[in-house]
Amino acid sequence: MPKSIKEIVLENRLFHFCADHGSEIDYIVGTLLNNLEAAIFQNKPLFQFSKAANIGITVGWNYFDAVFDVFGAFKQLTDTRSYRRTQSKIQASLNIISAIQLFSLSYNPLLTTYVGLANETDLAASSFAFSALFDLFVAALEFYNTKKEMEFKGWLDEKIKQLIYTILHGHDNKELIKDIHSLTSTQINRNPHKHGSIKLFLEQKLPPNPITQQLVGSLEQHNEGHSERSRRLHAQLVQAHKDSRVNLNLKIASFLGMTFLAVSRFLDSSTDAANTTLVLGLGFSTYVASAYFAYNSERVIETVSYYSGKFFDYCKPQAEPRGLSLQNVV
C-alpha cells in the first residue's frame, strides 16, 4: 500500500530538522546579515546593502521563520504519540498565528502607508517581536514541564498520564513501564516508609488493567538494574531541565532584542534614544544568534553530511544487474 503524503513528510529527516531547529538557523543567518549592515556599515559609505537587498533580507528572514512555524505546527498536530495533546494544540495554534502575522506584516506597503511609516518593511521588526513572544510562551511551557518532572511526584504523575494514553491508543509502552517501575521501586527502596502512599497514589490514578495491576504489584521487586536505569533517567531529567532553562533564557533575550529593534524603527534616528534601543536590540540578537550557532553547529554538520552522503550515493553509477543478457544469449 503506497504511503500517504503525511506519512512521507513525517518520516523525512530534513522535515523534522526544519520543524525543530529551522527557526534557529534562520535566526543566525538573518541576524548576521541584518546586524552586519546595521551595526558596521549603516553610516559609512564604504558598504551598504541596496534597498532591494535590505527588503529581501528583512522579508526573507521573516518569511522563512513563518514557513518553519508552519512545519512546527504540522508536526505538533500530527504527533499522535504525544500524550500532551492539549499543549501540542496550543503550541500549534501559536505557530500558525505567528506564521500568519509574519506573512501579513513583514511586507505590507498599504498598511505601513496607512499608519504613516516611511518604509514597506517598518512593521517587520514588530512582527518578528510578536513571533518571539509566542516562542517565549512555548519555552516557558516546556520549562514548566521539565521543572515539574524534577520532583518524583510530578514525574510520576506525568508518566501515569502518558501510560494511560498509551493504553487507550494501543501504543507500545514496554519501555515506559520499565521507566516507571525502575524509578518508583528505587524511590521505595530508598524510602520504605513511602511504599504505602506511592502504591495508593498509583492505584487511585491508574485504571484497573492487567498491565497496571502487574506494575503496582511488582513495586517491591528491586535490583541493581533498576537502580542503574533510575540513575540514567534522573540524568536525562536533569539535562532536559537544564536545556529548557537555557532555551527559556535565550527566548527572553530574543524577545527583548527584537522588541528593542522594533521600537527603534518608530524613533527619530538622530536621537540618543533611537541609537540606544538599536544598540540594545543588536546586542541581544547577536548574543542569541551566537548561542544558537554554538548549539546547532554540530547538528547542522551532521544533517548536511547525511544528505550529501545520500546525494553522492545517488550519483554513483549503478552496477549492471547480474544474470542473463542479450550478449550472453547470443
Residue 123 within a domain: yes
CB 101 within 8 A of CB 66: no
The single residue listed with the C-alpha cell 547470443 is 330
Q: How many domains does the chain have?
A: 1
pLDDT tens readout for residues 83-92? 999 999 999 9
pLDDT of residue 48: 62
Look at residue 212 in the predicted model and tell me its pLDDT.
Answer: 84
d(CA 193, CA 175): 27
Give the domain extent around 107.
5-151+230-303
Give the pLDDT score at 43.
53
Does any domain span residue 116? yes
User: Which pLDDT value is given to residue 69?
Assistant: 96
Q: What angle do CA 291, 296, 300 make, to 5 degrees?
A: 150
CA distances to 8, 10, 66, 154, 258 from 5, rounded to whole Å, are: 5, 9, 21, 38, 36
Asked, for residue 175, whether it belongs to a domain, the answer is no
Joined together, the cell numbers standing for residue 166 give: 498509551
User: Which regions of the chain are under pLDDT 70?
Assistant: 1-7, 9-10, 37-49, 304, 306-330
pLDDT of residue 256: 96
Cα 95 from chain centroid (whole Å): 11
- Any domain includes 124: yes
Q: Is 23 inside any structural domain?
A: yes
Residue 164 lies in a domain: no
Between CA 126 and CA 249 the distance in angstroms is 20
Instruction: State the pLDDT at residue 133.
Output: 96
Exposure on the CB side of residue 160, measured as CA atoms within 13 A: 22
For the chain, how far is it from start to end, CA to CA, in angstroms? 40
In a domain, 206, yes or no: no
Does 105 map to a domain? Answer: yes
pLDDT digits (tens, 9 = 90+) for 260-273: 999 988 888 788 99
Burial 70-85 (b: 16+ CB within 10 A, else e): bbbbbbbbeeeeebbe
| Segment 101-110 long-range contacts (CB within 8 Å, at least 24 positions apart) | 101/127, 101/130, 101/131, 102/62, 102/63, 102/65, 102/66, 102/69, 102/127, 102/128, 102/131, 103/63, 103/66, 106/58, 106/59, 106/62, 106/63, 106/66, 107/55, 107/59
pLDDT at residue 16, as a whole number: 84
